[in-house]
């Protein structure tokens, strides 16, 4: 089955959400922000905005991490952490965001196998570290952190990489647990969509 077919058949969360034309107050502001930046309100926004205060706190946390880490590193870490968490939601959403930073062909290579894409050794190590946070955080040791330091990352950068990956797990696992339908962002080609989902 094609990638698009997988998402068209996705179940809708049982959580009752507010329709965009009925939203008021903080929820309306959250929806309006997505409308401005994405052109629509994703299903995960509707579900997470059931607790709008927590949603805004999450957004503030993500911005604080990305501002220090840099957008390219933040998005690469997010893709790797989402891969480890088997999050279709976040792989697709952040794959679309990466298109503002990377052309489609190199992004497809990164999505399919970042270890054999045109990335620096430091970027590959950073993504491996982020993916492991999603799959085996309890098994990580100083050796994982020291590898990043040896490749030139500062302690602040290592902390920010860790926070970005851990924060992705918070959001990914929450929307997975709540059975949120997977939105396919507009503008993703079938090839890129397939590449983003292939490692999952």
Three-state DSSP class for residue 66: helix
Measured CA to CA, the distance from residue 20 to residue 140 in angstroms comes to: 42
Q: At what angle do helices 121-136 and 142-150 cross, to 10 degrees?
A: 160
- Whether residue 165 contacts residue 77, with contact meaning beta carbons closer than 8 Å, is answered with yes
- Residue 11's pLDDT is 56
Beta strands in the chain (DSSP E): none
Three-state DSSP class for residue 137: helix
pLDDT digits (tens, 9 = 90+) for 13-59: 899 999 999 999 999 999 999 999 999 999 999 999 999 999 999 99
* Whole-number average pLDDT of the chain: 93
Backbone angles phi, psi at 119, to 5 degrees: -115, 155
Measured CA to CA, the distance from residue 151 to residue 157 in angstroms comes to: 12
pLDDT digits (tens, 9 = 90+) for 165-196: 999 999 999 999 999 999 999 989 999 999 99
> What is the pTM assigned to this prediction?
0.91
> And the tokens for 192?
């890129």
Span 91-104, average pLDDT: 96
């Amino acid at each position: 089955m094609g990638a698009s077919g997988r998402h068209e058949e996705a179940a809708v969360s049982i959580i009752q959400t507010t329709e965009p034309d009925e939203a008021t107050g903080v929820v309306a502001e959250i929806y309006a922000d997505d409308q401005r930046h994405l052109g629509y309100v994703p299903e995960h926004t509707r579900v997470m905005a059931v607790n709008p205060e927590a949603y805004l706190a999450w957004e503030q946390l993500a911005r604080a991490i990305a501002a220090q880490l840099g957008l390219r590193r933040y998005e690469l870490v997010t893709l790797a952490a989402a891969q480890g968490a088997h999050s279709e939601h976040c792989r697709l959403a952040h794959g679309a965001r990466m298109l503002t930073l990377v052309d489609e062909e190199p992004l497809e290579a990164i999505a399919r196998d970042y270890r054999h894409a045109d990335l620096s050794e430091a970027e590959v190590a950073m993504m491996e570290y982020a993916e492991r946070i999603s799959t085996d955080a309890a098994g990580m040791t100083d050796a994982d952190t020291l590898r990043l330091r040896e490749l030139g990352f500062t302690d602040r950068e290592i902390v920010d990489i860790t926070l970005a990956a851990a924060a992705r797990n918070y959001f990914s696992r929450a929307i997975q647990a709540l059975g949120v339908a997977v939105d396919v962002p507009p503008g993703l080609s079938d090839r890129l969509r397939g590449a983003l989902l292939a490692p999952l």
